[in-house]
A and B are shown apart, each in its own frame.
Chain A
Amino acid sequence: MGISTPKALSEVLSSEQILSEPADLRAYDCDAYTIEKSTPEAIVLPHNTQEVQKVVRWCIQNQVPYTVRGAGTGLSGGAVAALGGVVISTKRMKNILELDIPNRQLLAQTGIANLAISKAVEEYGLHFAPDPSSQTVSTLGGNIAENSGGPHTLKLGVTTNHILQVTMVNTEGEIETLGSRCPSAPGPDFTSLIVGSEGTLGIVTEAWVKLTPLPTSVITALVSFPTSADATNTVAQIISSGVLPAALEMMDHGIMGALHSAFNLQFPPEAKALLLIECSAHGPDSNQQCQAEMAAVQAICQQNNAIQTEVATNEQERAKLWVARKKGIGAMGRLAPAIVTHDGVIPRSKLPEMLDFVYEVAAEQQLGVANLFHAGDGNLHPCFYFDDRIPGVVERVVAAGEAILHKCISLGGSLSGEHGIGFEKMDLMAMQFSPEDLGLQAKAKAIFNTSELCNPCKVLPNQKGCIEHRKRWRGTAW
């Protein structure tokens, strides 16, 4: 190990595929969850499954930990080399290997960017449905690892609903294929264990994905409300009415203020919350269907005191309305030197209660907060903004985050809707799962990984060899 790792790796890859300069190591010491860092010994850039296999076999032989990484946009530390070792980057694995338009499927290497898949099949009226906000850069492999969602997953489902088959280099260093191009093959669904496993069960190098027809009609509306409660009540009523919008996103007054100061977006002065609602449909009756859905949605908005409704029916107008959603977090960056976005889930009917709680916690911890929700899914993203140079403020942000997650669990929700556990929430797993439940999780992991080398110290708490390291990170970071 140590200095010899990069050099020794050149037995299996060419030297230009191995990065180990101090600047490289720094660039790979964290992902988009920047609070905790760990420096790898080397980064490798394989071109294909066989080269990944060579690296994994080398790591196994030399007992060096390894961690796969896509674009590094993960928000829970999943791609960080927790125990050092080798980072296996999929940066050079971006090829589409097979395009099967009649069957609406595509085989790609997992380093391809999410949006690049959709761009490649746009001319056929198809797209890859999961659309995380990071989709211009985040990779297919990263989406598979995190089971990524996005604003349109309310109707179309998350990543796991769109993955047919995966090829991976397993923790024994073998190439293994799971799943089937014809979905729901007989037997237990091992692919479902791999999707969302945060890179801890092997390295997925190629995947067959489902392609979904692009909607032929889309109507988008941005509706403002006098109170957050009016907006959250609207969401709950839309869901129970049976209308399933393609997207149902909420922004509170904190986000509206940020959008106003950053982009000069104008909202009615009495508005305190926004809902972005998109109805979409595919097929010959799509226009009629969309109109009917939107009319039903607007009626519910009116019953809940909607102030103003802007409706977009063409691409240009739609893009304008989506600015409020897509640039919301970016706009927050202008309010304070640092922001932290949390991720939790609650039953949709509990949105009003949850939002009140978030405001209480922020007041208690003297932090600024703004909320952006995938409201239709009950997936909230409270965003705290603060000046991290003030002593003690980071601790207060962490305390606020944990209080919010406690509340999510007590309302029957989940620790994470789409950002993952990584090492950010590893120690919080015991909130959602009993020791027996965690034992079951460990059993599931053992089907694929008993090695402690493949992305160690993620997802499950109390892994051997991880506790000491964890103490050290917390010590240096906070």
Chain B
Amino acid sequence: MVTVDHIREQLLAGNNLKVIGSGENSAILPPHTGPELHLNQYSGILELSKPDQVFTVKAGTNLKTLNQELAEHNLMLPITETHGTIGGWLASGRPHWNEHLYGPLKDWVLGMKIMLTNGEVCKCGSQVVKNVAGYDIHRWLVGSRGVYALILEVTMKAYARQELPQPPQLVKEANLIHRCLPSNIETLTQAYQELPHALSPCRTTLFAKASEPFSSTRTESDWIMSPWEPLHGPRLQKAKQIFDPEAKLWSGGFA
């Protein structure tokens, strides 16, 4: 059993630390050489209100376990992938297969409890489906790769259980995700002929598996999520200085 105190101890002593759930979503992120803080033992549903369709879960909870437990209440998180932990999915910001039906994961996140790099535990957002009190830090942290703070708990919306389309096996193994404007999808699909790939039902996103860096055709306003795709921007750095001045957590490949 991993406690918050135990996590705090590791974080405070940390240097270039990467927080890992199951590690299954790491293939999509830049490589990291350095110490790891494992959260997969920090797991379990803390609260679940069936009438409100809201639950709070520890970040290290396995997605498969989570959906099995929600199913007992006839609820679901509308994501059919079964690998990884909920914290890993949120930190990586990885798109899921059924976005065309239910939107991205960040739309289901209502609030978070996080640990700052000074060991302080804070909450942001709320436990209700509509809330405008304060800045939406919980949405900002989705996709932040565990660079600014450590996600301890997440409060999310659940949905009434339904049968959903299953992704092909390749989606789990994808290490290159390329999203474009719907009007450019034909061009993009052409460009990926040589790689094993799957086109998402929303017809904007290609999930591909590359054994070495792949230089893809680019289209207007598109983006690529892969270990070789650097992220730039002054705000990335500014936020790092504010949230983690001593670089206790890893850089996430933010340049």
- Residues of chain A at the chain B interface (Cβ within 8 Å): 100, 102-104, 146-147, 149, 153, 157-158, 160-161, 178, 180-190, 192-193, 195-197, 201, 236, 239-243, 345-349, 374, 377-379, 412-421, 425, 429, 432-434, 436-437, 439-441, 443-448, 459
Contact = CB atoms under 8 A, between A and B. Distances in A.
* Interchain residue pairs A-B with the least CB separation, the first 3: A242-B160, A192-B139, A188-B144
A290 B220 CA distance: 37
A356 B248 CA distance: 50
14 contacts: A103-B182, A157-B103, A182-B180, A186-B143, A187-B233, A189-B93, A192-B139, A192-B140, A242-B159, A242-B162, A348-B51, A414-B132, A416-B133, A459-B134
A102 B128 CA distance: 35
B221 A182 contact: yes
B52 A193 contact: no
B235 A147 contact: no
Nearest to A242: B160
Q: Chain A's interface: helix, strand, loop or mixed, by majority?
A: loop
A385 to B, nearest CB: 25
Most buried by B among A149, A178, A378, A419: A378
Contact of B135 (A100, A413, A441): A441
B201 to A, nearest CB: 14
A416 B130 CA distance: 8
Contacts of A186: 93, 143, 223-225, 229, 231
Given A345-B128, A429-B133, A441-B134, 9 more contacts: A180-B223, A183-B179, A185-B143, A188-B147, A188-B239, A412-B128, A440-B137, A447-B238, A447-B239
B223 A185 contact: yes
Nearest to A440: B122
Given A157-B103, A196-B135, A187 B124 contact: no
Most buried by B among A104, A236, A414, A421: A414
B66 interface: no
Most buried by B among A157, A178, A443, A448: A443
A157 B103 CA distance: 10
B48 to A, nearest CB: 12
B56 to A, nearest CB: 10
Interface of B: 49-54, 74, 93, 95, 99, 103-104, 106-107, 114, 116, 120-124, 126-137, 139-145, 147-148, 159-162, 179-183, 204, 220-225, 229, 231, 233, 235-236, 238-239, 242-243, 254
Contacts of A192: 106, 136, 139-140, 142
A178 B128 CA distance: 27
A421 B181 contact: no
Contact of A182 (B54, B107, B129, B204): B204
A193 B136 contact: yes
Nearest to B183: A102
B16 to A, nearest CB: 19
A189 B142 contact: yes
A378 B129 contact: yes
Nearest to B47: A412
Given A103-B183, A434-B122, A182 B132 contact: no
B75 to A, nearest CB: 9
Contacts of A446: 242
Contact of B148 (A185, A188, A433): A188
A180 B129 contact: no
Contacts of B99: 184
A443 B243 CA distance: 7
Given A187-B233, A347-B127, A160 B53 contact: no
A239 B93 contact: no
B55 to A, nearest CB: 12
A386 B102 CA distance: 44
B140 A190 contact: yes
B52 A348 contact: yes
B183 to A, nearest CB: 5
B235 to A, nearest CB: 5
A104 B141 CA distance: 27
Contact of B49 (A104, A347, A444): A347
